[in-house]
Amino acid sequence: MNAASLIQAVKDRFPDGVKASHSYRGDATVILGREFLLEAARKLKEDTVFQMNFLMDLTAVDFSTFGTKRSPAFFANSGIAVSPSPEIPDADPWPGPPGGHPSAGAAPGTPGTARFVVVYHFFSLPLKHRLRLEVPVGEAEEAEPEVDSLSSLWAGADWLEREVWDMFGIRFRGHRHLKRILMYEGFVGHPLRKDYPVNKRQPLIGPVN
Amino acid sequence: MSDHAGFFTSRLDEAIGWARKFSIFQYPFVTACCGMEYMATACSHYDVDRFGAGLPRFSPRQADVLFVVGTISHKIAPVLVRIYEQMAEPKWVVSFGVCTCTGGFYDNYATVMGIDTIIPVDVYIPGCPPRPEYVLDGLVKLQAKIQSQRSSGQRPPPEVRPEFER
């Protein structure tokens, strides 16, 4: 199934759950409400139209500083001339209001008002099609973002969800053993959050440097 | 009389140093991509066996040179220190690759900014990764250091890296 009909098929089944969708160069993406996630995932796995039996990736994005500052050019302070060529436009690659929702006309990728987006990549081995599911979590007033665990449907989600918990601090409801997978016990904070200081070190041994 | 004794110990030191520098038993502590270059150096094309370092030992008790090859993260750092402590004296440490020398281009939550912050280092071989010729040069420098070591005294303390303002 192609990207447009995949998106339409999801929309038909979850008319309330699908907040927005886009397909950039054939990559179908559906932005789904959090409360519909488990149901939609089960549908994607078991419905004969989708047959998404392979969860390829599960990760998250922190949008809290998205669009608020420009990323510095590589080696900008090294004295080496690395400024981009004039053919490359200097404009913001993500125009639109920061935090604007795709349905409101902003570029795809901005999550609305939510801080995080949990991203799921599904693939169907029998039908050879892919779908990306984005679930916005963590509104401003929410201290501990939480989303349903998919480990009951795909066993491979277990470690991926532990990684997302470790790096972003997003909890997964129904996960049987949610503990850090990459960082060590005693590590404080979640290092891939944008508010984790880049220089902050928590060594187990030796000086803090 | 004392002159004769000095003559004998210095001759003995030289003989021991000569024997030690051509019978390096290395412990490769390989954690990252530098390991490929380490393997290239160790294999027949460049052949560290020419320098008597051809037999890596995978037990710290049997090794006398610790090759730290690749990025050391904060999670693995206690393991590295324990390996170092398990090695019997005399022992030397080679810092292989820029990540082990200074942390390299990593400046983040995960990486130790140079293994000399946790264990003493004898030879630094920077490079990302260092070419085999570079490694062999470091090995020859290490041999010179081993040769010049005297049994009469403690080994000279390793250079201390100056503190940098962050």
Find the residue in A nearest to B72 (Cα): A203
Confirm or reject contact between B107 and chain A (CB < 8 A): yes
Rounded-to-integer distance, Cα A19 and Cα A33, Å:
7
Under an 8 A CB cutoff, do A202 and B118 touch?
A: no
Helix (H, G, I), strand (E, B) or coil at A101: coil
Q: How confident is the model at residue A198 (pLDDT cuts 50, 70, 90)?
A: confident
DSSP per position, B104-148: TT--SSSB-S-GGGTS--SEEE-SSSPPHHHHHHHHHHHHHHHHT
Query: What's the confidence (pLDDT) of residue B155?
Result: 61
Residues of B in contact with A191 (CB under 8 A): 108-110
- B89-110 pLDDT, tens per residue? 888 999 999 999 988 888 889 9
- pTM for the model stands at 0.80
Confirm or reject contact between B4 and chain A (CB < 8 A): no
Residues of A in contact with B108 (CB under 8 A): 191, 198
Helix (H, G, I), strand (E, B) or coil at B82: helix
Inform me whether the pLDDT recorded for A163 exceeds 90.
yes
Query: What's the confidence (pLDDT) of residue A101?
Result: 45
Mean pLDDT for all residues in chain B = 86
- A103-122 pLDDT, tens per residue? 444 444 455 778 889 999 99
Whole-number Cα distances in Å, B70 to B104, B126, B140 = 10, 11, 20
Which range, of A174-183, B29-38, B137-146, B155-164, averages the lowest pLDDT? B155-164
| Residue B42: other Cβ atoms inside 10 A | 21
Under an 8 A CB cutoff, do A201 and B109 touch?
A: yes
Rounded-to-integer distance, Cα A137 and Cα A149, Å:
13
Inform me whether the pLDDT recorded for B134 exceeds 50.
yes
Interface of A with B (CB under 8 A): 182-184, 191, 196, 198-207, 209
- Tally C-beta pairs within 8 A across A and B: 39
| Out of B74, B107, B166, closest to residue A202 by CB | B74
Question: How far does the CA of residue A150 sit from the closest CA of chain B (Å)?
Answer: 28
Based on C-alpha coordinates, what's the Rg of chain B?
A: 17
Proportion of chain B above pLDDT 90, given as a percent: 50
Rounded-to-integer distance, Cα B28 and Cα B22, Å:
17
Proportion of chain B above pLDDT 70, given as a percent: 87
For an interface test with A, the pick among B109, B113, B160, B165 (most A C-beta atoms closer than 10 Å) comes out as B109
**A99 or A58: whose pLDDT is higher?**
A58
Residues of B in contact with A74 (CB under 8 A): none
Rounded-to-integer distance, Cα B102 and Cα B120, Å:
13
Query: What's the confidence (pLDDT) of residue B147?
Result: 86
Query: What's the confidence (pLDDT) of residue B73?
Result: 92
Confirm or reject contact between B3 and chain A (CB < 8 A): no
Query: What's the confidence (pLDDT) of residue B160?
Result: 65
Question: How far does the CA of residue B152 sit from the closest CA of chain A (Å)?
Answer: 31
Under an 8 A CB cutoff, do A203 and B75 touch?
A: no
ipTM value: 0.73
Under an 8 A CB cutoff, do B110 and A198 touch?
A: no
| Out of A191, A199, A203, closest to residue B77 by CB | A203
Inform me whether the pLDDT recorded for B128 exceeds 60.
yes
Inform me whether the pLDDT recorded for A166 exceeds 80.
yes
Inform me whether the pLDDT recorded for A31 exceeds 80.
yes
